[in-house]
Structure 1
Amino acid sequence: MIDVVAVIPARLGSTRFPNKVIHPYRGKPLLAYVYNEISKSKQIDRLIVATDSEKIKEIVEDFDGEAIITSKRHRTGSDRVAEVIEKVGGKLIVNIQADNFGVKAPVLDRVISIMKKTPSIHYATFAHRLQSDHELHDPNIVKVVTAANGRALWFSRFPIPYLRDVDPKSYTAQYQFLGHVGIYFYRRSNLLQFARWKKSPLEKAESLEQLRILENGGQIIVFKTKMRTVSVDIPEDLKKMDGIYK
């Protein structure tokens, strides 16, 4: 069995930016930038785009990538990744969001190496320090709080923790808030267990798939990173890419 499989779940359905992942940027589809960076990994044995779109599959194959067609009924990216892993195998699985621009392969490799040596870690992800109160109060930037050992206590679109007697406009000057980075690491059996669980109440409330793990008693280890990724949610966000791909 292949040791490490990375999967990029990708779909065309974006209400604010239709066909986002295949939108051209400097002559290449946006998805190609994420794919090409992950392909530099020294730990990942196979890299696959999981999609329900024949158009995305064709574009991935045009830049010599691998894509697998999945069901259109998946509730989350992790559920889509699980379908692929049931087909292709793999011991450690990495799930990278298709719009995670700025992701760095060596940073992924570090966590993969740790998980290979630490079988007690079933799920893992990244977080970085938020740099502004604007980021903190943006519901599209997910916040996370952790225990001293790095275990995730909670994820929320709301600023957590709440700072009593502090002006919300100066929160980040008083506390080191963490923002979640949309990359997940799982062991095969734990990913497949995730897909078997029903969508949980708090997952539905916050629209955050990782809460399904916490609500079912699972533990997610959060690795702090200085890696700054950006997501492109609307066409105007493309200018953010200029700071990464100079």
Structure 2
Amino acid sequence: MSLSDAELGRYARHIVLPQVGGVGQRKFWQSRIVVVGAGGIGSAVIPAFAGAGIGQITIIDDDVVELGNLHRQPLFRERDVGYSKADLALQFVQRLNHHVKATPVLKRIDAENAAELLADHDLVIDGSDNFATRLAVSDACVKLGIRLISAAAVQFQGQVGLFRSKPCYRCFVGNAFDAEDCDNCAELGVLGALTGTVGSFAALLALNSIAGVGEDQAGHVHVFDGEKLSWRPIRIPADRNCRACGSA
């Protein structure tokens, strides 16, 4: 794949970075990424990927915009209330970068369909709002051998972790959270700017991983304290009894 003159101009500030260059930019274009959730996390991740020139973005979200979303989901406007988040995210990508192929999937991802929806992708970013979905996505990524970045934000705390089969996200949280009725930001609240911070960090982690920038962060979760404004990395050990990756 060779970049056109227009693309060379568009991505010039990537290409002049010695850590990225033309090789890294081509890796972005060749990447096929799933974004699970077009909410607060997705509202930062999707523009970052479209701007960076990720070749294919699949956006999975069966929800519609609600008024209470708007304080943390700047992809949407007041006039969008009641409309599909995934479809609106597609329109945003098309307006920003016509070189990027975006595909909306208006389905709820779960343990039954996760493997089918995630297959044939290189990386998944999960910004969903419940543990049942996160664990279904993680288990499917382990099964398919796909890199997973899990990103979450609630109240004033954020978490972003990169998992490559083993250890997996289930090693981090265990089996106790498979139910869908666990607490989320709807019950606990979240500062709007926090989701953007966490989503941007997740996008940066993804782009670094694709281009091979910096140290490999697989098996680490980065925890952000929004009150102290500090990041802290935690190494996650593999659980040999993990029902997802224990035999991987």
**TM-score above 0.5:** no
Higher helix share: 2
**Which has more strand, going by share of residues?**
1
TM-score interval (norm. to shorter):
0.3 to 0.5
